[in-house]
Each structure stands twice: as C-alpha cells, then as structure tokens.
Amino acid sequence: MLKYLVAVICCIFSFAPLFAQQHQLMPVPKEVIWGEQRFQIDKGFHVVLNDTSASRAGKAVVRFLRRLDNRTQLLINKEFFRKPLNGVGPYLVIQYDRKGLLKPGEEESYSLQITGDQAILKAATDIGIVYGLETFLQLVASDNLGYYVNGVTINDQPRFVWRGLLIDVCRHFSPIDVITRNIDAMAMVKMNVLHLHLSEDQGFRIESKVFPKLHLLGSNGDYYTQEQIKYIIQYASDRGIRVVPEFDIPGHATSWFVGYPELAAAKGPYSIEKKFGVFGPSMDPTKKQTYKFLNKFLTEMCNLFPDEYFHIGGDENNGKQWDDNKNIQEYMRKHNIKNNHELQNYFNGKLLSILQKNKKKMIGWDEILQPGLPNDAVIQSWRGKEGLKEAATKGHQVILSNGYYIDLVQPAWKLYANDPAPSDLKLSDNEQKLILGGEATMWAELVTPENIDSRIWPRTAAIAERLWSPADVNAVNDMYRRLDIMNIRLEEIGVQHIINQEMMLRRIAQSNEITPLLNLVNVVEPLKDYKRHSQGIPYSTDLPFTRLPDIAFPDAKEARVFKMLCEQLVMKKDTTAKIEIEKQLLGWKNNHNELALISRNIPALKDWEKLSLLLQDVAAIGLESLQKMNNRTTVTDQWVTDSNKKLKEAALPVQESELMVVESVMMLFQYALPK
C-alpha cells in the first residue's frame, strides 16, 4: 500500500535519476541540483579532515563513519586522515573555517558537492559540518552493485535560527539516556535547541548545591546531578545543539516549597503534587527573602548552563494565594499595583535584573508580555498566533510553540502545516525578523520513559522540516513518504519509538503472540488535545501509563493509508484500490477472533476486546458496502439504519482511544447508498 503514498516531488528538484526524483532528504535542503554521476562507496571509503578527533567536527566524523559502517557493513576505517590515501578508495573532503558558537544567528549553512570521483563538504563553521554529514548519510543508497551516493550539489541553510524541542522532565522524569538519544534524533533532523523544563508542581529535577533541599525533598529522588547536566550540555554541544533551562515561576512551583515553604504565598507544609493541572501554590513576590533566594539560586544555575538564554516560565499563575494573602494585598495597595498581572510583571522585573547581572536573556511564556516588559525579553507563544504577533509588534523576539504541542497527539500533517511566519501574519520586514523560529513541546503528564519517544518521533521530524526548509516545501503526501523513511532511520541512533510498542504489548499479553493486538493498535490513536483528562480517569503520577492510549501511536499509518485508498476509490473513481481495501477489511474482520483468544484470560485486555469487536463490525460494513457497489444489490432501509448506528457507536472513544478507520468506512458506506 505504500506505493499509494508516493507523490510528485517538489519543483525545486531537477529531473535526473530515479533516486533523485524520489529523494529521501528530511528536512529538504534549500537548494538541490541532481547530477547523473554515481559516487561508489566501498571498504576503502575514508574522510579527509585537517582537525583533531576531540573537535566538534572530529567527533561528528567518527560518529558518521560508525553509523555508515553499521548500515553498510563494509568494515570502513573509523579514523579520518589529514590528506587522501593515495590510490585507496573514494573519500570525502571536509573543510570549515572556524568553530561555531552556540547562539541564535550563528552560521549553520553548508555545501555538499558529490560527483563520480569526489565528495566535498564545506561550511563556515563546524556546526554546518555536523548538518552536512547528516545529509550525506541520508543520501546513501544501495542496489545490486553496492552502496553509492547519487551525484548532487547541495547548498543549504535554515529558514529559522531557533528549532527547538522542549522536554518536560518534571511531571514524569526522563533519565539521562532518554535525553541523550533524543539529542541524537534532534541532530538527525537539524534541530538546534533542547529546552529542559526542570521545575514543576510534580518535581524539582536538578541538583542545587546552594539550596539542596530543592532536589532532596522536591524530587522523590529523581533528578539530574550537576555533573550529569554538564554531560548533557557537552553531548548536545558536540551535535550543535544548545541547552536552555526553564525554571517555571512564580506558579507551577509546588516542588520548591516542599523544602522551602517560606518562599510560598501561603503557609505550608507542602508535598509534591501527584495530579495534573493548574494549582494554587505560588511564590510570594512581595518578600525580600524571595529575591535573595532566587538571586543565589538563579546565579548558581546561570553558571551551570552556558547558554545566553534562560527561561523563567511565568505561565498559568492563577493568583489564588496572592488574593488570599493579606500582606500581599496590602503591599499592592501601598505600591499602587492594581492587579495580579501587574504584580507578576513586578516579579518578572526582579528576575530580569538577576538574569541580566548574569549576562542572560530572559525567556517566558505569553503571560509575561505585560506593559513595561523590556524589549530584550523573549516571548514563547503557546496560546496562539495573535500572541506571537503582539509580541513582535512590540519589539520582542518570539518563539512559536502554539500548534507544536506534540503531547496533544495531533497528526504530522497538522503540525507540518503550522508555520511560525505565515504570509498572512501581516508583520513588517523588521517584525518578521523577530520571529526566531519554533519549538515542539513534549509535556509529560501522559508519558514515561517507555513511550516518550513515540510521542516525540517521528512527528517532530515534520516540525523540524517546517523550521529548516523553505516555506514552499509543503507537499503533505511527500512529507509522509519521507517521514516513513525517517521513522526507520531514527532507530539507527537508539530512539525507541517503535521497539517499545511491541515490548509493551508483550508485557500485557505475557506472550510473544501479539500480532492480533498489534493489528488493532495499528488503527487506533489516543484521544487528542486534552480529551483524555475528561474521560473519568483521575490521571496522576501514580497511574500506570501502559494502557491502550499509551501504546497506540499518535498518527496511525495503516489508518492513514487506508483512508487514502478509500478516497482514491470514492473521489477519484479508481477501482484498482478495491483489491487493497477488501484485503485490509478482511484482515480486520478476522482479527477479532484471534484477539479474543488472547484476551479471555487477561482482564487488562477487556476494553481492547470491546474495541476489537467494533473494528470487526466496521470492517463487515465496509465489505458489505464494497459488495453492494460491485453487484448493485438492493440497499435496504434496515441495513442502512443498522450500519449507520454501528458506525456511530464505533466512532465513540473506548479506553481514551479512537478507532481511526471509522471515517473511511463511512465514506464507503455512503458511496454504496442509492444516489
């Protein structure tokens, strides 16, 4: 069925060999000119680089050679050389001018020229070299003659300077190996900012040597030591990725108060929050003690994190503790502070002065955009494009996250269509320049180390392309074709988005016989947006996140391909799709009996059995619809009524999950009705 996903390639690519027409590059480079020659890769392949193995470029080359050899098994030399080896094998020459600085606006461009007898990668900085090596790996193909790269000239640079991924390590903690493998995945798709959300109501996740009760009492033992943070920062730096810390204050701060209740606007004691949502505890912005504490703590963290940007959160402070605190209310009257927005603006001003003293630029969520906020504060927009536009028109640099909330499990096409700077935003040229880029946000209410990778990848690769590639690279079908390829590539560097799904299924089934479960999971998606929280399950950090909606992928490929087949038949009247449609429907119809055998002695699968029975009914209606199309048999009123009722029932959520083929079968059903 994958052949139906193949789309016409973007017009920026010239007509050339088949490989060029069906390129596998993601994100798409700015300029690609395909050639006719073939650069053969054999065991003599080597890299020429006048550098040391400890440099960023040197480390990137060693990783590149190992990944290439793991894929080709050619036993390639894992070292690089200062000059070509005379008469021995093809080689890649790497040249760059200087070490790149990890800051927005740094030169990230590169050029890659490959002919039949040579390959040359050039960049102004070693960061460009890191990106160019990723592109080279994506170009490697194979046939019966061996491994090769098609001749090509690539001139590439990003559209936006800020291409980020936020990982919330507070609501559910992510161990260091989760972070490092996701850094590797970010590098594959040329993302350059890792935003770590380090404090929250549910946990304080970093060691403080100045105030140790923050992590000792506020983390349940799950936190990063400062040495681990340094390791993460260096690991990311080697891949051209910056690490930006976030400490969310004054709200979302319960974990701070477990060890230091005197910071709060209401008396303690406090305990780490287990549930999710917006809670009352907030810092007292009227106490001098609060700022003495924050000055010492923020200075400690500023010294630990070298990036010039520092995120202070600032979102969703409901102000309840401020309203109920007589001393705070008196302070506001005395200082002519009219409301809680002005009080938080006062608080933010104090934070800004601390960060400026430490030579940092402050970032905050939309809520910090209040009158009097200095222009050098950066706004991260999560509530909508209007907030982004307002910030830019007021002279603030902005980062878009609205529309990139990957925890809401929206499909890749929807994320891909979200542009930080659409043509209809109506900003001046100078205001457009203030849009730094965007950030995917992986909030962790509903993820654990087992399934976090499947919530981030592969969909974030679509966001990465939107932030890197030219705006006119927007063909959805071709994006999905290349995303399927990237999905497999991500496993190359250890991402566990695919393998963990089958592991979770085996755990439930207590068996290797999971095919019927997998057949169901492949056409199911978790409820989107925040709908899971309204289905009666009291979600908290104590719950097992091993249920059907935690296992199902956010963008079910089989359901998507099936929909395309149905559209091909119904809308384009292409009857060749019928064979594939019928085959798929028969498989789903017959799957239920096998799944029922597995689930009969496993109580945890009872809801699965209900959903499987619905899939069986839906598949049967689809098959009957095809039969009525083929044979022109009479459609009875009773069949129409019964089928419509079953389809509507099947569209309802079961165990916070949706059956994603109902809409497609409804299309077949309606097509079979008399016109």
- Report pLDDT digits (tens) over 24-44: 999 999 999 999 999 999 999
HEC letters along 417-439: CCCCCCHHHCCCHHHHCCEEEEE
Q: Are residues 55 and 107 in the same domain?
A: yes
According to the model, what pLDDT value does residue 198 have? 98
Q: Are residues 345 and 438 in the same domain?
A: no
pLDDT in tens, 348-386: 999 999 999 999 999 999 999 988 888 889 999 999 888
Q: Is residue 486 part of a domain?
A: no
On the CB side of 332, CA atoms within 13 Å amount to: 20
What value does the mean pLDDT take over residues 498-506?
Answer: 97
- 3-class DSSP assignment, residue 515: helix
Active-site annotation holds for 207: no
Element (H, E) at 37: strand 31-41
From the CB of residue 3, how many other CB atoms can be counted at a distance below 10 Å?
6
pLDDT above 70 covers a percentage of the chain that reads 97
Q: Is residue 483 part of a domain?
A: no
According to the model, what pLDDT value does residue 12 have? 36
Q: 């209900």: which residue's tokens?
A: 610
Q: Is residue 608 part of a domain?
A: yes
Q: Are residues 134 and 20 in the same domain?
A: yes
Q: Are residues 309 and 207 in the same domain?
A: yes
Lowest model confidence (mean pLDDT) among 88-92, 299-303, 428-432, 600-604? 88-92
Q: Are residues 401 and 534 in the same domain?
A: no
Q: Is residue 321 part of a domain?
A: yes
According to the model, what pLDDT value does residue 64 have? 98
What value does the mean pLDDT take over residues 524-533?
Answer: 96
pLDDT in tens, 564-610: 999 999 999 999 999 999 999 999 999 999 999 999 999 999 999 99
- Bridge-based pairing of strands 31-41 and 146-156 is antiparallel
Percent of residues in the chain assigned helix, strand, coil, to nearest 5: 45, 15, 40
What value does the mean pLDDT take over residues 53-75?
Answer: 97
Question: Would you call 472 exposed, middle or buried from its count of C-beta atoms within 10 A (0-12, 13-18, 19+)?
Answer: exposed
CA–CA distances in Å: residue 618 to residues 336, 535, 654? 64, 23, 15
According to the model, what pLDDT value does residue 10 have? 38
According to the model, what pLDDT value does residue 595 have? 97
Report the CATH number at residue 55: 3.30.379.10
- CA proximity to 332, closest of 262, 324, 340: 340
pLDDT in tens, 600-628: 999 999 999 999 999 999 999 999 999 99
According to the model, what pLDDT value does residue 630 have? 76
- Could you give the residue ranges of the DSSP H alpha helices within 522-556? 548-551
According to the model, what pLDDT value does residue 551 have? 98
- Between 5 and 47, the more confident residue is 47
According to the model, what pLDDT value does residue 244 have? 98
Joined tokens for residue 138? 């994506």
What value does the mean pLDDT take over residues 534-554?
Answer: 95
Length of the chain as a residue count:
675
- Last residue within a domain, chosen from 316, 340, 363: 363
Q: Are residues 211 and 284 in the same domain?
A: yes
Q: How confident is the model at residue 22 (pLDDT cuts 50, 70, 90)?
A: confident
Q: Is residue 184 part of a domain?
A: yes
pLDDT in tens, 257-287: 999 999 999 999 999 999 999 999 999 999 9
Task: Tally the domains of the chain.
Answer: 4
Lowest model confidence (mean pLDDT) among 538-552, 627-641, 660-674? 627-641
What value does the mean pLDDT take over residues 425-446?
Answer: 96
Residue 405 has pLDDT above 90, yes or no: yes
Q: Are residues 456 and 594 in the same domain?
A: no
Q: How confident is the model at residue 331 (pLDDT cuts 50, 70, 90)?
A: very high
Q: Is residue 8 part of a domain?
A: no
Q: Are residues 170 and 152 in the same domain?
A: no
N-term to C-term CA, the chain: 30
Report the CATH number at residue 359: 3.20.20.80
Q: Is residue 270 part of a domain?
A: yes
Q: Are residues 229 and 278 in the same domain?
A: yes
According to the model, what pLDDT value does residue 135 have? 98
Q: Are residues 297 and 444 in the same domain?
A: no
Residue 6 has pLDDT above 70, yes or no: no
What value does the mean pLDDT take over residues 160-181?
Answer: 98
Q: Is residue 369 part of a domain?
A: no
According to the model, what pLDDT value does residue 87 have? 73
List 106, 107, 308, 316, catalytic entry = 316
Q: How confident is the model at residue 185 (pLDDT cuts 50, 70, 90)?
A: very high
Q: Name the average pLDDT for the chain.
A: 94
Q: Are residues 518 and 635 in the same domain?
A: yes
CA distance 160 to 76: 36
- Bridge-based pairing of strands 361-365 and 378-381 is parallel
Partners of residue 363 on adjacent β-strands: 311, 378
Q: What domain range includes position 623? A: 499-672
According to the model, what pLDDT value does residue 20 have? 53
- Last residue within a domain, chosen from 459, 474, 489: 474
Q: Are residues 169 and 54 in the same domain?
A: no
According to the model, what pLDDT value does residue 21 have? 53
